[in-house]
Structure formats: C-alpha cells, structure tokens
Structure 1
Amino acid sequence: MENREGIMKVDLHIHTTASDGSWTPSRLIDEVGKAGIGLFAVTDHDTTQNIAETGRLAAAAGLAFLPGVEVSSTLGNQSFHILGYGIDPDNEELRRLIAWNTQLLAEADHNSIRKLIADGFAIDYGEYAAYQHDPARGGWKSLSFLIDKGFCRDVNDFFSRLFTAERGIRFPDFPPPAKAIQAIRSAGGSPVLAHPGSSFHGTSLDETLDFFGKEDIAGVECFHPSHDAATTRRVIAWCQRNGLSITGGSDCHGDFVSKRRLGRPSIHLEQVRLEELSALGV
C-alpha cells in the first residue's frame, strides 16, 4: 500500500494480544489497512504466538509482513529490548529464551502483588491468583487486577505509585543483551536495538550506543515515539557511520497505550534500511 506520492508507509514495532497489546491479529490487519500502512511487523514482548495468524491475514490482505519479536534483556540494573526481524518463530534457541523471559515476567507479576500486600495494601492474594486477565484490555494480569480493585487508575498510575524501586518492585533480571542477540541470530533474524533514546533505559544515549556498538547488533530503531527529532538524527547518523540498519515504528499497543498511535511517527520505506526487506519484494 502506498500513499499518493507512491512511497510505502511502514511500521516495524507493533504489539498484539499475545503480549501487552489490545488488538488481535484480525483487528490489527484492519487498523493497518485504515492507516495506509503497506509494510508492518509484529514484535510482541517475548512471544511469537500471533505471528503465524498475522502472516496469513496479511497475505490475504495484500500487505507486506515481517515476523518479529521484542526480547527483554538486562545489563546491570537496566532493561534493554532487542527487536528481532525476519525470525523463524520455531527456532528452539529463541523459543527457550523467550519462554524463560515469559516465566520471569509472570513471577514478577506475582511478586509485585506480594510486596504490595507486605507494604500494607488490603489485597487478597488468593483473589489475585484466581483472577483472569482479559488480553483484549492490553497490559498484564497484575495491572488489570489492581485497576479493577481500585488500587490504581491506569498504567501510568501503576508505574508512578505502585511498581516502584522504593517499594522494592522492579523488572526481573533477564538474560544479558548478548544472549538475546545470539538467540535472534540463531533464529535467522536481525537483532535491532529498540528505542535507545528512551528514558526507559535510565542511561544516556551515548552510553547506550557505545555499549551496543561493541555487540553483534544489525541495526538500531531510530524512529520511535520516545525520540525527538534531534535524537532521531543522532541515531541515524550513528547507524550510517557504523554501517548498521535503520528501522522504526510506533510501538503501538492497540487501545492500551493511547499515546502510541499506529503509524506514528510517520515512516516511509525509503527511510529504513533492513536486509530482510529485500526478501519481501518491497
């Protein structure tokens, strides 16, 4: 699908109900079509569950689709996400790693509730354990439970008041970036550092790029909602100097994160560079 100038719009960072997005594959295909996007990727957190269905629906709709994943990793006390493009979702090394990460995330969910109880919150752990999270809401179990029980308003309130280092609640210690990169390579994919300029990492952009410049990454996500224009230019220039791929996407989570809108920032095919795109004929 092309815009009136004949240039294809792309979005290479999208989440579905397989992780913390609120759109099913069929809803995503509808929304991609409405947004005029011709090439897109599903990059769910530590799961490839919806790749096959999305690929079938994309082919039927005449859309170019790139299978992907977003793998969680930890360096020191900081979390980094590694996008994997063009992966084989059945690769055993990748499947083992993301299954481990999924287990760690589930344990962090449970532990956060236990710590809130120890901190004086009137939460019944048995009620939480029996609670069923609806994936169509987006997010995850502990968040939905705490919203429904009136302990927080939304995801922003959750991270500002409840899921905090002051309460001793933090993300798990995932495997290091090198292991995530190796698993993506093993699955035949290109490992790309996600949103390096995001405050999520808690480190400076220069420090992040300096570290990952020594790792076996294929590229960097230069276009992202958390990047201002200056950051985008800096990261593109860094990729060009180092001969690395340039990617970007909305990091859309469906209706779950209202500020992350499909196709924003607006990215066109001529702005990205990724080896896997040639195989799609775009």
Structure 2
Amino acid sequence: MEASTRHLVLAPDAAIDLQLHTTFSDGTWTPEQLIDSLVREQFGLVAITDHDRVDTAAVLQQLAAEKQLPLLAAVEMSTSWSGELTDVLCYGFDPEKNELGELAQAIAHRQRENTRQVCENLGKLGISFPNVHELDALLAQPSAQQPHALVALLKRLGYGTGEPSAGTLITEAGFSWATNDLATVVDAAHRSGAVCLIAHPGRGEGYTCYDGQLLDELRRQVPIDGLEVYYPAHTPEQIAMYREYAKTHGLLTSSGSDSHGPEKMPIKYRAELSQSLLERLGIQIS
C-alpha cells in the first residue's frame, strides 16, 4: 500500500495531532470513530500511536485511506531506561516489513503472563473469578488495556471499591508493566527506517520526568531523535525548555494530544510546530 503521506504538502497552520489511541490498545475510540472525527474536524495529518501495536498499522492505513485522511505509520512503544518507564513514539516505519513487530509481540506476551500471574496471586488472597470466561476475555484484551480491565473486573465483583483500592490490590499481587529496553527499541526503529521521539518527557505520573541534564545523560547512551515538546500536561516553562533543548541539539519535535476517547478530544496543533519531524518523514511544509 502506498503511504497516504506520500507527496503530502501541508500549510504551516494545517491541523495535526501526532499522538492518538484507539481500542486497539487502551483507548475508547474505535479506529473508525476516531478517523471519522478527525475527518469532520478537517485535520491535515495525524498519527495513531496505539501502545505496542505495530501489527495494526496497516489496517489503520487502509481505514484512513478510505476517508482520504493522511496518516503516519506510528506506534508508542513501552520501554524502560535506567529502571524507569519511558515511552517512545516511533514514526515512519513500513507497516508490512519492520523490526519493531517482534518487540511489540514480546510485550504482549509478557504482559499477558503478568496478568495471568496477578490473577493467580489474587486467588491465593481469596479473590476468586467465578466465571472463567471473564478471565479468558481479560487475557484477550490488548496488553495496555489489561490492568484497567482487571481493575474494572475486581470492582464489578465487589473488590477494591474501598481501601485497599483495586489498583493497590493488583499492585500487591505483582502487577508490573512489560517493557523493552529503550536502546533496543530505538535500534530496531532505526533499522526499520523510523525515527524515535521521547513521548511526554515532562509528564511524570510514573514516567521519567526529563530535565536538560537527564536528557544529556540519555542521549550519551541512546541515539534518540527527538522529543514530544507539545503535550497537554506540559507547562509553558517545560514546553519552552524542551523546544530550546531540541533546537540546540538538532532534535526533532512532535505535538500530540494523547487523546484516548471523546472525553479528551484531539488537539489541532499547527503543522509548523513539528516541521523538522515532518520534513524528515518526507512531508513538505509550505
């Protein structure tokens, strides 16, 4: 399939959003709902970055092409660096042939095994799942959705509605996010013709919160290509700092809402905010 971004030219003020999620990972948008919404809102370019779902990129390309919506091949990969969570956004790989797929499949396998182990440990604590089909359905969920689905299941069964919370229960039963090594993911992305940017570097909330010194240390170890500078949770001071850091070090910049559903809509970022990234991917801003 020919990429929908081939020969694409965008005006500097064209609306783009380069971090979006659907039910293929932990979103509530179905792919069709999200694409229809983006078309109605006249976005010029988007990226659907479902967590560790390289396998759905071709399907998304086809759905977007049917609605004539330019869509970057993209994924948000779950990684760790120095023992902490760091998500990375990978843009521009071939959906049909790349080296990210095996890493994403490894995440899915390890997360499923962790979910299974958590359920076994909850059983040892006296928390049982009377309907075995509910457990099977849980394990069939995308890896990024499984802990959320497990929390919801526990609450439906009457567990974790007070203290301890359902989230605490699964944590104490051994829940952990499955990740790949950051350097391994970046290397696979580069060998697949993609670029890698640190997602929401200033978000915190369990993820590494990067300042200039920490970014220097990261870049000495891993050849990261850029930063998601424009992100709803970033303060104006963080945006200014990341923008200046990227300019100083020749890094690419991206802009993403992290929309997972209609309750948090996509944001119309100006294409020129991510001009360096888009031009690297063969998209002209004029």
User: TM bucket by the smaller chain?
Assistant: 0.7 to 0.9
| Corresponding residue of 2:4 | none
User: Which residue is equivalent to 1:179?
Assistant: 184
Which of 144, 147, 156 lines up with 1:148 in the alignment?
A: 156
Per-residue deviation, 1:103: 0.9
For the residue of structure 1 that corresponds to 2:196, the secondary structure is strand
- Identify the range of structure 1 (219-228 vs 195-204) with the bigger mean alpha-carbon deviation: 195-204
Deviation larger for 125-134 or 94-103: 125-134
Residue number in structure 2 paired with 1:85:
91
The Cα offsets for residues 88-142 of structure 1, whole Å up to 9 and x where unpaired, read as: 1233521111110111121222223233333443444845433357969x93342
Alpha-carbon spacing, 1:56–1:203, altered in 2? closer, same or farther (3 Å): closer
State whether residues 198 and 228 of structure 2, in contact with CA within 8 Å, keep that contact through their aligned partners in structure 1.
yes
Change (3 A) 1:52 1:74: same
Structure 2 vs 1, CA of residues 150 and 86 (structure 1 numbering), >3 Å: closer, same or farther?
Answer: farther
Alignment of 1:182-193 (within 5 A): 182-193=187-198
- Provide the C-alpha distance between the structure 2 equivalents of 1:42 and 1:250, rounded to a whole number of angstroms: 11
8 Å contact from structure 1 (residues 196, 209) kept in 2: no
- 2:180 is paired with a residue whose SS is coil
Q: Against the structure 1 CA distance between its residues 26 and 126, is the aligned structure 2 distance closer, same or farther, given a 3 Å change threshold? A: closer
Q: Does 1:25 pair with 2:31? A: yes
Q: Which residue of 2 aligns with 1:117?
A: 123
- CA distance in 2 between counterparts of 1:218 and 1:6 reads 22
Aligned to 2:57: 51
Quick one: distance in 2 between partners of 1:230 and 1:149?
44
Change (3 A) 1:181 1:6: closer
Q: Structure 1 CA distance, aligned partners of 2:239 and 2:53?
A: 28
Separation of aligned partners in 2, 1:216 and 1:67:
21
Moved more, 123-132 or 95-104: 123-132
1:130-163 deviations in whole A, cap 9, x for unaligned? 3357969x9334244334334357xxx654x334
**Uncovered stretches (5+) of structure 2, i.e. residues with no partner:** 1-10
Give how far 1:202 is off: 4.8
Deviations, residues 212-242 of structure 1 (Å, cap 9, x unaligned): 3222111111111221211111111111111
Q: Distance in 1 between matches of 2:207 and 2:66?
A: 42
- Which residue identity does 2:153 align to in structure 1? F
- Mapping for residues 239-254 of structure 1, pairs under 5 Å: 239-254=246-261
Judge conservation of contact 1:219–1:244 (CA < 8 Å) in 2: yes
Aligned match of 2:204? 199
Question: Is residue 213 of structure 1 aligned with residue 219 of structure 2?
Answer: yes
Distance 2:69 2:98 in 1: 28
Distance 1:240 1:65, change over 3 A: same
Gaps of 5+ in 1: none
Aligned position for 2:7: none
Distance 1:225 1:116 in 2: 36
Q: TM-score normalised to the size of structure 1?
A: 0.82
Q: What does the per-residue CA deviation read over 1:239-278, in whole Å, with 9 as the maximum and x for residues that have no partner?
A: 11110000020111125xx4x4311xx4110111205565
Q: Distance in 1 between matches of 2:124 and 2:279?
A: 49
Q: What amino acid is aligned across from residue 221 of structure 1 in structure 2?
A: E
Q: 2:271 aligns with which of 266, 269, 272?
A: 269
Superposition RMSD in Å = 2.8
SS at match of 1:199: coil
Displacement of 1:56 after TM fit?
Answer: 2.4
- Confirm or deny that 1:67 pairs with 2:96: no
